[in-house]
Amino acid sequence: MDFNLSEEHLAVQEAARDFAQNDLLPGVIERDNEQKFDPALLKKMGDLGFMGMMVSPEYGGGGMDTLSYVIAMEEISKVDASAGVIMSVNNSLVCWGLQMYGTEEQKQKYLVPLASGNVIGAFCLSEPEAGSDATSQHTTAVENGDHYLINGTKNWITNGNSSSVCLVVAHTHPEKGHKGINVFIIEKGTEGFVVGRKEDKMGIRASDTHTLMFSDVNVPNENRIGEDGFGFKFAMSTLNGGRIGIAAQALGIAAGAFELSLKYAQERKTFGKPISEHQAIQFKLSDMATRIEAARMLVYKAARIKDQGKDYIKAAAMAKLYASDVAMWVTTEAVQIHGGYGYVKEYHVERHMRDAKITQIYEGTSEIQKLVIARELLK
């Protein structure tokens, strides 16, 4: 495997790093405290092409490969994981799903503005009693002539309030199990579509996470994605790609915490010398760097396999499993290296530690990733 990045990939990396350091870093603590993401930053992310990176240029996207996407995700998540998850959902779940499986009319109407960042999207799968289990949907879609009536509740929806376009998973034929599931494009503002309470989260606090409620929401037939019963396959396919994005986010969180720790260790002095000269700190830094590099190789490998058009289910699950565990471990060590300073917001690493935890949970918990990997191994 060639471990060298091309000039194009290096250019993406530099652009994402510049945006993260110059635009995201100022105000990142305030956004976390206030639980709000600046719309001006979201617009700039769109202007820079970060909201539709893998979308074909004919639909307003960047036409880039998955590796470019994860490189940008890492750099942005080093500074602000909330920006990373907003970008991840729009790219991996919403735009990618529409480009792969949407009709030409759906692409022109919805994908084009989503890819440009003029609007953002939400992926609505999780429910109060159906998190990662896509087969246990209680949201229903009853066919009624030229439209469907959608009823149900979706929980923990990233971009739930800020999105304009939602991809909603619902059961049309419950008696058919997973073969009776469909996915519908629902626009914000449709009658009966209500944005519920905002979650007060431990981490990624600047991204909005809401409950969404649907009461007799009228959705035209042409807003169903794919053939009748295609919804389960759509959800599983998009989640597989989504795991690569979350793995890249976890990688970025870990790398960001490490870079802060390395800098702090070289500046902070105890007993007359920088703490980086103490063997105990050197051991921590060495372990952190090694695990991050291993995670990066898994993430890059999954991205390359996807770009090659090969089956990437196992690679994506491995990358997400390992990178999220590394993010949690590295950020905990980062707080430890910073000592008392690590426990206060000014030094950023406590936020990285809070942000890291969610990467072990969404797009399927670590236990679910192990089940996916085992299933692939035992085929």
**Position 143 in a domain:** yes
Interval 281-314: pLDDT, tens: 999 999 999 999 999 999 999 999 999 999 999 9
Structure tokens at 121: 């999207």
Helix extents (H) in the chain: 7-19, 28-34, 39-47, 66-79, 81-88, 96-101, 104-106, 112-116, 231-267, 279-307, 313-338, 349-359, 366-377
Given this model, what pLDDT does residue 130 score? Answer: 73
Domain count, the chain: 3
301 shares a domain with 187: no
- pLDDT number for residue 134: 72
Looking at residue 132, its pLDDT comes to: 64
- End-of-domain residue from the set 215, 231, 247: 231
Q: What is the pLDDT of residue 284?
A: 98
277 is catalytic: no
pLDDT at position 4 is 86
**227 and 243 inside one domain:** no
Residue finishing a domain among 78, 93, 120: 120
What angle in degrees, to the nearest 10, is found between the helix axes of 81-88 and 66-79? 150
294 and 209 together in one domain: no
- pLDDT means per 10 residues in the chain (379 residues)? 86 98 98 96 96 97 97 98 97 97 98 96 90 80 95 96 97 93 97 96 97 97 97 94 97 98 96 95 98 98 97 97 98 98 97 98 90 95
The residue type at 317: A
CATH of the domain at 336: 1.20.140.10
39 domain-assigned: yes
| 80 found inside a domain | yes
Tokens (6 digits) for 113: 């503005």
For residues 247 and 223, state if they share a domain: no
The dihedrals phi and psi of 223, each to the nearest 5 degrees, come to -95, 5
The rounded distance, in Å, linking the Cα atoms of 120 and 358 is 21
Residues 129 and 85 in one domain: no
Cβ–Cβ < 8 Å for 160, 186? no
Tokens of 198: 């905002």
pTM to 2 decimal places: 0.96
Tell me if 284 is assigned to some domain.
yes
Given the structure tokens 């980086």, which residue do they identify? Answer: 276
CA distances to 21, 72, 336 from 237, rounded to whole Å, are: 33, 22, 39
Q: Of 206, 231, 256, which one is at a domain's C-terminal end?
A: 231
Q: Is residue 2 part of a domain?
A: no
Based on the fold, state whether residues 51 and 169 are members of the same structural domain. no
Instruction: Specify whether 221 is located in the same domain as 261.
Output: no
58 belongs to a structural domain = yes
Active-site option among 227, 293, 363, 367: 363
In terms of domains, do 243 and 369 share one?
Answer: yes
- In terms of Cβ atoms closer than 10 Å to its own Cβ (0-12, 13-18, 19+), residue 269 is exposed
CATH code assigned at 130: 2.40.110.10
Looking at the fold, whether 218 and 247 belong to one and the same domain comes out as: no
- Domain with 85 in it: what CATH number? 1.10.540.10
Residues 152, 178 within the same domain: yes
DSSP run (H or E) holding 212: strand 209-220
245 in the same domain as 373: yes
Q: Are residues 80 and 204 in the same domain?
A: no
202 assigned to some structural domain: yes
> What's the mean per-residue pLDDT of the chain?
96
- Full domain range(s) for residue 61: 7-120
**Residue 37, token pair as written in the block:** 């993401």
In a domain, 1, yes or no: no
pLDDT at 1 (0 to 100): 64
